[in-house]
Amino acid sequence: MTEFSDLLRDLIDHRRKHPGEGGQGEVLDSLIFGEVDGRRLSEDELIQNCIFLLNAGHETTTSMLGNSVAMLLDHPDQHRNLLAEPALITTAVEEFLRYQSPLQLGNRLASEDVMLSGEKIVAGTYIHLSIAGANRDPDVFDDPENVDLGRTPNRQLSFAGGHHVCLGATLARIEGQVAMGRFVRRFPNVQADGPAELLGLARFRGYTAIPVRV
Ligand code: HEM
């Protein structure tokens, strides 16, 4: 984190001296020079937001792609369907996300007393939300343990919801559709070549290795 912060500090200094170098709409430029009610982000806020954006957008997407490959290897019938019908990629990405959500848990802190499904949650209570559980809720999804790349509707919650719904959801969906669509076309004969290794974390679902033969 220290090295990362130093690197960002240099980048921010450079960009301050050369405003506009990143081009219109560039994220770092917007964070440095953007103002709300005349106020800009402090140095600490800038660095933390850069780190947050990179983490939020990088690890999750990496896991989404790895999880998708692993699911295709584990479900050859679904893989064949996708090969035969490339347009399935749109619903396929939603199903990849539903079945193996890169973020399995969410956290909330009740800022006031709330009633939720008949339960009173007292202000100050920490709440752990199971995104993975919600994504396999039998009241919402038919046959939730089954992988169906054509599943519609698919109200998966991998990007959470409400005020803090994932800022990058649209980008992540496009990334999933482009990357997995191309992967399937380019490596139609992909097969497992040894056991895949899960990250083994409760919060993040992803793999450290998925050996394949293409
Ligand atoms: C498959 C990929 C992704 C998944 C599964 C994912 C998942 C999530 C989830 C569950 C949240 C809500 C966290 C919470 O409220 O507790 C979230 C928030 C967020 N995500 Fe993503 N994300 C992904 C990709 C991205 C990308 C590509 C970016 C940016 C380039 C991004 C930026 C953010 C940001 C900034 C927030 C905070 C939004 C807020 O609090 O207002 N995410 N993401």
Mean pLDDT over 149-157 rounds to: 98
Flag whether pLDDT at 120 surpasses 90: yes
| Residue 68, ligand 1, Cβ within 6 A | no
Identify the pLDDT of residue 144.
Answer: 98
How many whole angstroms from 183 Cα to the centroid of ligand 1?
24
Global pTM reads 0.90
* Cα 106 to Cα 26, 48, 126, 131, 202, distances in angstroms: 29, 20, 11, 7, 11
Calculate mean pLDDT across residues 123-152. 97
pLDDT (average), residues 187-214: 96
Q: Classify residue 147: in a domain, yes or no.
A: yes
Mean pLDDT across 139-164:
97
In a domain, 29, yes or no: no
Phi and psi at 145, nearest 5°, equal -80, -5
Indicate whether 33 belongs to any domain: no
Would you state the pLDDT for residue 27?
87
DSSP state, residue 213: E
Alpha-carbon span 196 to 16, nearest angstrom: 45
171 lines ligand 1 (CB under 6 A): yes
In a domain, 1, yes or no: no
Model confidence pLDDT, tens digit, residues 48-70? 999 999 889 999 999 999 999 99
Ligand 1 lined by 129 (C-beta under 6 Å) = no
Mean pLDDT, the chain, rounded, equals: 95
Residue 126 lies in a domain: no
- HEC string of 69-136 equals HHHHHHCHHHHHHHHHCHHHHHHHHHHHHHHCCCECEEEEECCCCEEECCEEECCCCEEEEEHHHHCC
Query: Residue 25 falls within a domain, yes or no?
Result: no
Q: Which domain holds residue 92?
A: 42-104+133-213
Residue whose C-alpha is closest to residue 61's, from 186, 162, 212, 206: 206
Yes or no: say if 75 and 95 are a contact pair by the CB < 8 Å rule. no
Query: Tens of pLDDT along 13-48?
Result: 999 999 878 887 788 898 999 999 999 999 999 999
155-176 pLDDT, tens digit each:
999 999 999 999 999 999 999 9
Cα of 180 vs centre of ligand 1, distance in Å, is 20
* Domain annotation covers residue 21: no
Q: Is 181 in the pocket of ligand 1 (CB under 6 A)?
A: no
First to last CA, the chain: 37
pLDDT of 67 reads 98
Would 17 be classed as within a structural domain? no
Assess whether the C-beta atom of 209 lies below 6 angstroms from ligand 1.
no
Identify the CATH number of the domain in which residue 149 sits: 1.10.630.10
> What digits encode the pLDDT tens for the residues 92-111?
999 999 999 999 999 999 99
User: Structurally, how many domains does the chain consist of?
Assistant: 1
Burial class, 64, CB count within 10 angstroms (exposed 0-12 / middle 13-18 / buried 19+): buried
CA of residue 58 to ligand 1 center, whole Å: 10
User: Whose C-alpha lies nearest to ligand 1, atom 18?
Assistant: 166
Q: How far is CA 44 from the centre of its chain?
A: 25
Residues 6+ apart with CB under 8 A from 15: 21, 22, 28, 29, 32
CA of 13 to the centre of ligand 1 (A): 27
